[in-house]
Chain A
Amino acid sequence: MSDRLVATSRQGNYAGGVSRLAAFAADVGLAWASLLILMGMASMALSLASSHSVSLYHDWRIVTDVSVVVWFFAYFSYQWTLGGKTLGMAIFGLRVVTADGAPISGRAAVVRTLTLPLSIVPACLGLVGIILRVDHRAWHDRFARTCVVYDWDARAARLLWLARQQEHPGTRRHP
């Protein structure tokens, strides 16, 4: 990796596999973490109400499994419907849009969420398109007629870095 960012805005370009994988990993982590917090709070509330220790994970396994599925579905579909991006995607500057580049509809967000497991379950075969295809679209992208683009203005980031350099000379170099 070199030490200079080419001052070109990446907004609207198809996002590559590394950024998308990192964003997905961040989303899974965030979804799990938020789910664990919610389930812990629910377990605590049930324990207080029933006066004995309740563990949702052990005592209500089916409920827990359903909750995981529902939570993950809600996590992705709601955020994609709301702004075309999840928290992980926001961190990595990505956005889901239609294949033409328009904002995605709620229906497309739901289809994308429902078909996401289809890309992952068969040994991640459905994700190969993210690496090999020119438009970096996976199976769930093609089912939902969506694609993922950079939503991050690298040009603005570089200008901000230059401004900081002027304000505080000697700070570290921009990547």
Chain B
Amino acid sequence: MSSTPRGLDKLAQGIAEQVVRRVVSALDVNALMHQVDVDELMDRIDVEAVAERIDVDAIVRSVDVDAMMARVDVEAIVERVDVDALVDRVDVAKIIERVDVQAIVDRIDVDALVARIDLDALLTRVSIEDLIDRVDVDALVSRTELGSIIARSTTSVLTEGLDLIRSQGVGLDDFTNRWVNRILRRKGELPAGPPLLLPAALAAGPQPEVGSS
């Protein structure tokens, strides 16, 4: 008795499969899709329920990020980026306005910073002679109290008179030297003084235009 229903089931199953196969082959899916109201269908889908059932972690775990990244041509992407246009769109002034510089400065430990600076190494890199050359001593003396101190400490009529006499002498010396050098057609490097008294560059260099001008 039990074999008969089973045989009927098989028969029914075979018929159903044949029917479905024929129906499917006869179906015009495109025409059917045209009749489907996708919007209505989407409205009927409970997206939240579907999302809840999706195990995002499992999906993410199954993704091989390394393999994915290996297939990405970063160079090509970067080449396609118009950096200039990107930068043009950035309002730097606005960004700076939003930066609290004072807060940043307040957070800096200046003492610790200074303590880390090797002043000896720094000073060895500084050319003191160049530094002194850049100091306008004339302006320093004429505009500061230093000049007043010098004047009070060393002023004397005798010194002033000697300076006057000497500068006149030096001026006449230079005048004579210029003419003698011109007549004798001396050009180029002339020793300005003995080597021990003048630096090598000056002693062997061109006679400087000193004295009166």
Query: Which residue numbers of A lie inside 8 Å of B, CB to CB?
Result: 1-2, 4-8, 10-19, 22, 91-93, 97-102, 131-132, 134-135, 147, 149-150, 152, 154, 157-168, 174-175
CB-nearest residue of chain B to A2:
B212
Which residues of B are in contact with A by a Cβ distance under 8 Å? 137-138, 141-143, 146-152, 154-155, 159-160, 162-177, 180, 184, 186, 190-198, 208-213
Given contacts A16-B174, A157-B167, contact A99 B150 (CB under 8 A): no
**Cβ-neighbour of B170 out of A132, A154, A159 (below 8 A):** A154
* Cα–Cα, bound, A102→B194 (Å): 9
The number of A-B residue pairs with CB atoms under 8 Å apart is: 155
Nearest Cβ on chain A to B180's Cβ, whole angstroms: 6
- The distance in angstroms between the C-alpha atoms of A150 and B148, with both chains bound, is 28
Contacts of B160 in A (CB 8 A): 161, 164
Kindly identify which residue among B155, B159, B172, B210 contacts A167, using a CB–CB cutoff of 8 Å. B155
Q: Give the distance in Å from the alpha carbon of A8 to the alpha carbon of B207 in the complex.
A: 12
Closest Cβ neighbor of B213 among chain A residues: A6
**Alpha-carbon distance A101/B109, docked complex (angstroms):** 55
Beta-carbon contact of A149 and B194 below 8 Å: yes
Q: How far is the CB of A20 from chain B (nearest CB, A)?
A: 8
Among candidates A101, A157, A158, A168, residue contacting B193 with C-beta atoms closer than 8 Å:
A101
Q: How far is the CB of A2 from chain B (nearest CB, A)?
A: 5
| A4:B213 contact, CB within 8 angstroms | yes
B196 adjacent to A160 (CB under 8 Å): no
Query: What 4 new A-B contacts, CB under 8 Å, besides A18-B172, A150-B170?
Result: A14-B191, A163-B149, A166-B148, A174-B167
Q: Are B154 and A99 in contact (CB under 8 A)?
A: no
Contact present for A101 and B210 (CB under 8 Å): no
- The chain A residue with its CB closest to the CB of B179 is A131
Task: Say yes or no: B196 contacts A14, CB within 8 Å.
Answer: no
* Contact between B150 and A19, CB atoms less than 8 A apart: no
Contact check: which of B146, B155, B177, B212 meets A175 at CB < 8 Å? Answer: B212
Q: Known: A5-B211, A92-B166, A175-B164. Is A12-B137 also a contact (CB below 8 A)?
A: no
Which residues of the other chain, B, contact A14 by a CB distance below 8 angstroms? 191-194
Report B-chain residues with C-beta under 8 Å of the C-beta of A16.
169-170, 172-174, 176-177
9 contacts between A and B (CB under 8 A): A1-B175, A6-B212, A7-B138, A91-B162, A92-B166, A101-B193, A157-B166, A159-B141, A163-B142
Can you list the 6 inter-chain pairs with the closest CB atoms, starting with the nearest? A16-B173, A101-B194, A101-B196, A12-B197, A163-B147, A101-B197
CA distance A10 to B170 in the complex (A): 9
Q: Which listed residue (B137, B141, B184) contacts A166, Cβ 8 A?
A: B141
CB neighbours (8 Å) of A12 from chain B are 192-194, 197-198
Residue from A6, A98, A135, A161 within 8 A of B211 (CB atoms): A6
On chain A, the residues within 8 Å of B169 by CB distance are 16, 18-19, 22, 92-93
